[in-house]
Structure 1
Amino acid sequence: MKFKKENLENHQARITAEVDQVSFENYKRRAAKKISKKSKIAGFRPGKAPFEVVIRIHGEDYVQEQAVEILIDDIYPELIKKADINPSGPGRIEEIKSLNPPKIIFNIPLQPEVQLGDYRSIRKKYKLDVVTEEEINDVLHQLQIKFSTAESVDRPAKKGDLVALQLNANLTKPINEGKSEIIKDSPLEVIIGEKPKTEEPFPFEKFDDELIGLKVNDQKKIIHKYSPNSTFEKLQNKEIEYNIKIEGIKSLRLPELNDNFSKTAGGIDSLQELKKNIKPQLEDAKKREYDQQYFSELLEKIIDQSKIKYPPHILEDEANRVLSNFEGNLAQQNLDLETYLKLNNLKKDKFIEEDIKPAARHQLEHALVIEEISKQEKIELKKEKLEQAYTQTYLEMQATTNLKKLIRKSSKKRVTNAILIRASSRLINQQVLIRLQEIATGESNKKIKKDSANTDKREENEIKKIKGKQNEQ
């Protein structure tokens, strides 16, 4: 067998394999025997019909087709080995150029490759803000609202009221004469004057001010134009006409902040203790949010100076996973993908190309870079840490999925292996991110110097011991 190897731009190898005609004749005879075993040929036992008889009955083309299948099964593993290829997935036949002699072109996806830049030179300060008294008070206020009493009132809405309304929204200038409606008869509850929980509240900042003075059954039209930097990406630079109808107004009576409130809200004896309990929870939440942004920005810097190659099928697989997760999230909101696309006036193909694939590419490249850094930094998992990660992952899966049903569908061993793989992956990610933080903040260099100094000190002590023994002698 002769072959020629070419490396393609999409990180696949194109292998052109050529088998001599004599060898192919043998494959045709093997194919004929296989055909005669499966089909009934009058006058012959299964598998015993002569080659010429099989050709006459089934035709030369069919026998050749079966021969090519056998040939490919035979030569493909050998071809991979001789061409020194480590495939990332099954190859495919690009073209059968000829059959006399057989000349077949394969496309084989290669393993991803990551060439990291000088990631150890990247610097980024890690500065986590402390939890403030104001933030603790905000949580207490939310608890007050949660345990408040609401009373329907027959008067215009004012600051502090809980207003229930029906919301409709339309684009004032539909794109290409498309659908103008973006929200239809959506229920919404708003506390007038309440501090927004997000940087840009829905539907827009100070929307609650528009409700002051309205009564039950009142209707109002509001025009709002979103900024180019709006966090609602689909609404950036767009002008929206909101039509609201007031369904109900309730006066909120907040409980007094005291020790009795602490017992009701948190089962804690004193308000001071409740505040102490709130603080570490806020610290954890703030750290998670900060870490997510910090490491995302840090990884983007590393990706920008790295060369990352992967074949198309790996991105397609990742895109399928992202889409599947997205559909799962929609299902939790009692929505399906088709409904979501209709509500947002989106075409599925365009949505996948413009939303799903970029997200998949982002996740894939982050994962590949983390994997390569773990190799470069020689990250190793300690048994006790892995056991902790396994237990945590198991408990999380138990809370979000029906493990018993999953085990029945698959097997306990396969589910256990899946949990172990997920736990290992998560732990490696954590270790890599910690190492990157040490590098980016300069802590890694300090550790190296400290370890070096400790090594020098140990060597110095050993030398002193040896000299001391020599003097004694």
Structure 2
Amino acid sequence: MAAVKTSVTALPESRVRVQAEVPADEVERRVQQAARQLGREMRIPGFRKGKVPPPVVIRRLGRAAVLDEALRNSLGSWYVDAIDEAGISPIGDPELDVGELPSEGQPLAFSIEIGVRPRAELGEYKGIEVGRREPHVEDSMIDEEIDRLRDRFATLETVARPAEAGDHLVVDYVGRVDGEPFEGGEGRDQLIELGSGRLVPGFEEQLIGASDGDRRIVEVTFPEDYPGELGGQTAQFEVTVNEVKAKRLPELSDDWASDASEFETVAELREDIAERLSEADRHAIEHEFERAVVDAAVAASKVEIPEKLLHARAHELLEETLASLERRGVSKEMYLRIAGQDEETLAHEAEPEAERALRREAVLSAIVEAERIEPSDADMLEAIRPSAEREGADPQRLLERLRHSGRLDRLRREVAAGQAVERLVAEAKPISVEQAKARQKLWTPGREEAGQGSGRLWTPGSATP
């Protein structure tokens, strides 16, 4: 990483100005690098193509032109170096100002104005009293698990009656779009489950009530994000029902329990399910309590969030969502078409979530500073161990890679924030949920009636906010 020198000046509304200086030797190295690249494309008598030496390139084009090319190639990495050296966490797009282009042997100066994470004025955060529920497992929850297990051992029996939701049908079908068959649109003796939701929306529902030997025309519209060329198109399927099959669950008995599990009786199986459900609930309670403790610390603190910063953070969240969807095969254009909204509208809807994130980050950062939390090298190694195992890499070498790429400081801040959360939770005082609700109602009358949007970005498959 280049030795970019920086100084930071705080500005109003959670913005900073970073004055950066690139050493003269680094500037000259990049100028020579740019000259070599330009020389590969130049034709000059007396030199082979692509072999024009940098001094000749600089004389021919002029130092200013070569320096301009060097800036285009290098300013991005110098910007990253300056941000890392300044030790700030930027938000939004920077305003970059490059001063006068330096003469040979002179450093390059430039400045950056950008939003940063807001600072928090901490309230009381030690020994916070927060509601924490007790693990609880209903008999109905155990029954549901038992039924799911029985369903795995269910058999299908042919029945002479109209099909109902939950039945299986053996069908032949031929699909057409605009009267023409399409690839993958024909099947013979296919087994489908009515109500499973595995087929194109609307297909299964139109076969409820069908009997053995029936023929039906099923019309469906493929979702916009359907793979291939069928997305958004309407198709007609000619479906012939060959069989109607009903699902038969095994009798709930000790014999079945011994066949389906490692236990000899239904009672033993139920006891094991109850313990597993209770353990899962205990983990859920831990996560709920952790969130509630952090939320309480945030609520007790004061964080000023300028509108411009909020807008930038909301756009960051949207970009993170779009990148995640892209990795799952959903393009930005497809997502916007499905959502029926443009980027600016989606970013605006994400502002409540962005505000929560900014407040949480600011408060945890302030606690890290107040408590002087400094992750050790062992803490850092432990934090990256899962990533190292996924990559099949040595944790120490991965840590060195992060250090050389300038990403170690960011990881250190994330680890420190996690340790701040652990400290908050360890010092918090659990109280009953009833007591917590009573206090909340007393302190914030009318809160239950106040309608507030979730502010969470919708993604395919998520529930409507």
TM-score of the two chains, using structure 2 as the length reference: 0.51
Aligned to 1:349: 343
Residue number among 149, 154, 162 corresponding to 1:148 in the alignment: 154
Map residues 394-413 of structure 1 onto 2, 5 A cutoff: 394=386, 403=390, 406-407=391-392, 413=396
Higher helix proportion (structure 1 or 2): 1
Moved more, 374-383 or 249-258: 374-383
SS at match of 2:131: coil
- Residue 62 (structure 1) aligned with residue 52 (structure 2): no
Moved more, 263-272 or 416-425: 416-425
Aligned to 2:302: 306
Q: CA deviation at 1:307?
A: 1.0
The letter of the residue matching 1:336 is V
Q: CA deviation at 1:366?
A: 3.9
Q: CA deviation at 1:314?
A: 7.4
Contact 2:18–2:86, Cα closer than 8 Å, also in 1: no
Aligned to 1:12: 15
User: Using the alignment, how far apart are the partners of 1:381 and 1:366 within structure 2?
Assistant: 19
Structure with bigger gyration radius = 1
SS at match of 1:268: coil
Map residues 56-205 of structure 1 onto 2, 5 A cutoff: 57-59=60-62, 61-62=64-65, 65=68, 86-88=87-89, 94-96=96-98, 105-107=111-113, 110=116, 113-120=119-126, 123-158=129-164, 161=167, 189=193
Contact 2:20–2:110, Cα closer than 8 Å, also in 1: yes
SS at match of 2:161: coil
Aligned to 1:278: 273
433 and 30 in structure 1: CA distance in 2 versus 1, 3 angstrom threshold: closer
Residue number among 256, 264, 267 corresponding to 1:269 in the alignment: 264
Map residues 243-392 of structure 1 onto 2, 5 A cutoff: 249-304=244-299, 305-307=301-303, 320-328=319-327, 330=328, 335-337=329-331, 341=335, 344-346=338-340, 349=343, 353=347, 362=356, 365-366=359-360, 369-370=363-364, 372-373=366-367, 376=370
The letter of the residue matching 2:151 is I
CA RMSD for the aligned pairs? 6.6
User: Using the alignment, how far apart are the partners of 2:248 and 2:54 within structure 1?
Assistant: 93
The letter of the residue matching 1:151 is E
Q: CA deviation at 1:141?
A: 1.5
Percent identical: 19
Structure 1: unaligned runs, 5 residues or longer: 19-25, 166-184, 193-202, 222-242, 443-473
Q: CA deviation at 1:434?
A: 2.9
Contact 1:156–1:215, Cα closer than 8 Å, also in 2: yes
190 and 281 in structure 1: CA distance in 2 versus 1, 3 angstrom threshold: farther
Contact 1:36–1:47, Cα closer than 8 Å, also in 2: no
For CA contacts below 8 A with separation 6 or more, give which structure has more relative contact order: 2
Contact 2:168–2:194, Cα closer than 8 Å, also in 1: yes
* 1:172-201 Cα distance to aligned partner (Å, 9 max, x none): xxxxxxxxxxxxx9x984569xxxxxxxxx
User: Using the alignment, how far apart are the partners of 1:316 and 1:272 within structure 2?
Assistant: 54
Contact 1:318–1:360, Cα closer than 8 Å, also in 2: yes
Q: CA deviation at 1:281?
A: 1.4
User: Using the alignment, how far apart are the partners of 1:105 and 1:383 within structure 2?
Assistant: 33
The letter of the residue matching 2:263 is I
User: Using the alignment, how far apart are the partners of 1:89 and 1:257 within structure 2?
Assistant: 60
User: Using the alignment, how far apart are the partners of 1:319 and 1:418 within structure 2?
Assistant: 28
Q: CA deviation at 1:155?
A: 1.0
Contact 2:253–2:266, Cα closer than 8 Å, also in 1: yes
Q: CA deviation at 1:282?
A: 0.9
Number of residue pairs matched by the alignment: 360
Contact 2:326–2:332, Cα closer than 8 Å, also in 1: no
The letter of the residue matching 1:278 is I
Contact 1:88–1:111, Cα closer than 8 Å, also in 2: yes
Q: CA deviation at 1:86?
A: 3.8
Aligned to 1:454: none
* 1:129-163 Cα distance to aligned partner (Å, 9 max, x none): 51122221221122112211122323124587457
